[in-house]
Structure 1
């Protein structure tokens, strides 16, 4: 039985939503911030907030933006140089978000996390309390991986997988109703659409199979660290936690409204 239409209706009733945006959505290939996309994203989120939704934004891009801000042609290989770029890039990133959200009369608050923060029970509780306090005040939490102080994520080329895993962790921590991952590809396919023009989009997933994982493909852009495999893993985590998920094209951030209107775009992952 195809339950896709009925399941997608659930997204319209989602109140607390985690939106994850990848490096490729908010930057150009040279690492410069794509202010047009950032503004569209912030406007879309502001519209959802005006409807009474509670939005948490998980963003990638600190190192990538640092690359662009420092006018480098590629990422450095030394860990300390990457951490320095993350420190610089994060400031630029938050500046862009702060200015864009202010245009729509909203404030945002920065939360930087490492994997250890998620695993430590006390710190985890503090994170949850901070998130709840921001949401109560109608402030949009902007959450990123703390590359400037943690080497684990950089050494493993992004433990959080360009923050795909982080977005799932945040969704579970915040007891979200929906996780939306905006990607450089418009959903899950039965093969890699970058190399196979006949690949078909899978609109609805009730159970993640090993075949789906195998077909997820290779890592993403040169400025990011995530690929479809990490997104599938993130979706499995939230599905098991009773949270619905969507993977959709991030080049047009206003797609958030279309998702909540139950349009057949991207791939919907039904909570178990």
Structure 2
């Protein structure tokens, strides 16, 4: 078995969740977004090919609209996303521009990629943007998608993107340090699982739900995403999004988060 330090990464998908982008009041944490833009821009300058999958549009839209809580119904989610996505991209554009990086927006709906022609078109778009040194920022097109045909959460979306573009690694920045053997919010003695070479039913049973009212993806969705990618030879790291500089530690092979190894290609 190989170790983290043996992993060579060139193409990287980074997924950041809503709770890692927002303050407790639901508004955007601009300082953290600036740090994220700085880290990604620095890595891009070093030759990494990076795609950012960003949640947050619904929560940001709800905050701008001064709604009492994140909408639960489909029409409320779609309307909030329509407002929030514009705000989110405006901020990303501003943050990345100050570091001399070009970003693009890609909104994906699962049912739009239901045939080979559309899959090929999506791949060609990603690969052309990467060739042009553009950083694609991806989200689900919540304004038109419906739950029955959607990805349901951006953990699944990020796994789909990582597989689509043949990424070397997916980093999921979350509101928790990684996968624990029990719920760390309830059990102070819970232990972080540092490395996994396979995901079986026992591991899946450890994955609990997120306690956040802002995000949609719990640990179960992250483990499911990692399991899918592991079969394709793509590594996944689940770790805290509190400080985006942790991405450096991951790429340096340091022992942070939960590392799920992809099967050797």
**Bin for the TM-score computed over the shorter chain:** over 0.9
- CA distance in structure 1 between the partners assigned to 2:223 and 2:34 by the alignment: 27
* Residue 145 of structure 1: how far off its partner (Å): 0.6
Partner of 2:4: 8
- SS at 1:201 equivalent: coil
- CA distance in structure 1 between the partners assigned to 2:48 and 2:250 by the alignment: 14
- CA distance in structure 1 between the partners assigned to 2:56 and 2:115 by the alignment: 25
Partner of 2:101: 106
Partner of 2:262: 271
Alignment of 1:44-63 (within 5 A): 44-63=39-58
Q: Which runs of 5+ in 2 are unaligned?
A: none
Assess if the C-alpha contact under 8 Å between 2:34 and 2:95 holds in 1.
Answer: yes
* Residue 186 of structure 1: how far off its partner (Å): 0.7
The yes-or-no answer on 1:219 pairing with 2:210 is yes
Partner of 2:61: 66
Moved more, 27-36 or 54-63: 27-36
- SS at 1:100 equivalent: helix
Partner of 2:130: 135
Q: 2:190 aligns with which of 199, 206, 209?
A: 199
Aligned residues: 263
TM-score (norm 1): 0.93
* Residue 79 of structure 1: how far off its partner (Å): 2.0
Alignment of 1:178-193 (within 5 A): 178-193=169-184
Q: Which runs of 5+ in 1 are unaligned?
A: none
* Residue 161 of structure 1: how far off its partner (Å): 4.4
The yes-or-no answer on 1:145 pairing with 2:136 is no
- SS at 1:58 equivalent: strand
- CA distance in structure 1 between the partners assigned to 2:129 and 2:146 by the alignment: 28
* Residue 98 of structure 1: how far off its partner (Å): 0.7
CA RMSD of aligned residues (A): 1.4
- CA distance in structure 2 between the partners assigned to 1:160 and 1:116 by the alignment: 9
- CA distance in structure 1 between the partners assigned to 2:6 and 2:141 by the alignment: 33
- SS at 2:139 equivalent: strand
Partner of 1:21: 16
Deviation readout 1:24-79 (Å, 9 max, x if unpaired): 01112322111111111111111111110000001111101111111222023432
Partner of 2:236: 245
Assess if the C-alpha contact under 8 Å between 1:118 and 1:169 holds in 2.
Answer: no
Assess if the C-alpha contact under 8 Å between 2:39 and 2:245 holds in 1.
Answer: yes
- CA distance in structure 2 between the partners assigned to 1:65 and 1:115 by the alignment: 22
Assess if the C-alpha contact under 8 Å between 1:161 and 1:230 holds in 2.
Answer: no
Q: 2:81 aligns with which of 81, 86, 92?
A: 86
The yes-or-no answer on 1:38 pairing with 2:29 is no
* Residue 7 of structure 1: how far off its partner (Å): 2.3
Q: Hey, which bits of structure 1, 4+ residues long, moved more than 3 A?
A: none
Deviation readout 1:58-104 (Å, 9 max, x if unpaired): 11111011111112220234322221110000001111111111111
Assess if the C-alpha contact under 8 Å between 1:165 and 1:231 holds in 2.
Answer: yes
Alignment of 1:155-166 (within 5 A): 159-166=150-157
